[in-house]
Amino acid sequence: MAKPPLMEISLGGSGVAKPMHRTLGLLRKAVGDMRPIWKDVVHPYFIVHMAMQFWSGGRHGGKPWAKYQAEPKYRAFKKAVVGHLKPLLWIPGRERLRPSFVSMGHPEHVYSHSPDKVTIGSKVPYAGDIARNTKGLFGEPSPARHVTAMEGKQRTKLVNNVMQGIRRKIGSDGMRKAKVNL
């Protein structure tokens, strides 16, 4: 099975939003410990984003999740067992994937942070397979469904929210010392 989908952001690193890394990299000294911002800004943003992803079938993040047309055996199975064909949603109370992404208290929700890095996602074993072309439950080709996809405008909003959190954390004097014009 593939590595579960995670969103990782670090100061000056690489990953989900390179412009964010460049900007935050400039502020590394002034910011110091980012854990309060990861916890109060990034984590809640991710939870809301993921709820919108599941509600919209991936359209919210700009990459709609494929329906089950290419998976006739799985489509018939899901319709019979679950009663609907909404991609990646299961029987309420018995599903694992959606709650692991949208509920901070879910046992399979991933959230870890350090002073300069945050990792958020799911540790549901099959979560990583969903994000890549693979074989499904009945051996049929299963197209990639990019669960954590985020459009540019959403990344920009996240960066702006993080920058506001930084402003609150270090104040305007700290921003001037960092020589960054926000």
Is position 182 within any domain?
A: no
Counting the structural domains of the chain, the total is 1
- The tens digit of pLDDT for each residue in 20-68 reads 555 556 665 667 788 898 999 999 999 999 999 999 999 999 999 999 9
pLDDT at 159: 84
Residue span of the structural domain in which 151 resides: 6-177
CB within 8 A of 117, min separation 6: which ones? 8, 9, 10, 11, 13
Query: What is the pLDDT averaged over residues 8-17?
Result: 50
130-138 mean pLDDT: 87
pLDDT of residue 133: 87
Determine contact, residues 127/121, Cβ cutoff 8 Å.
Answer: yes
Q: Is residue 168 part of a domain?
A: yes
- The answer, yes or no, to whether residue 182 has pLDDT greater than 50, is no
Domain assignment of residue 1, yes or no: no
Q: What is the mean pLDDT of residues 153-159?
A: 89
CA angle 31, 35, 41 (to 5 degrees): 95
In angstroms, the first-to-last Cα distance of the chain is: 43
Give dist(CA 118, CA 37) in Å, integer: 10
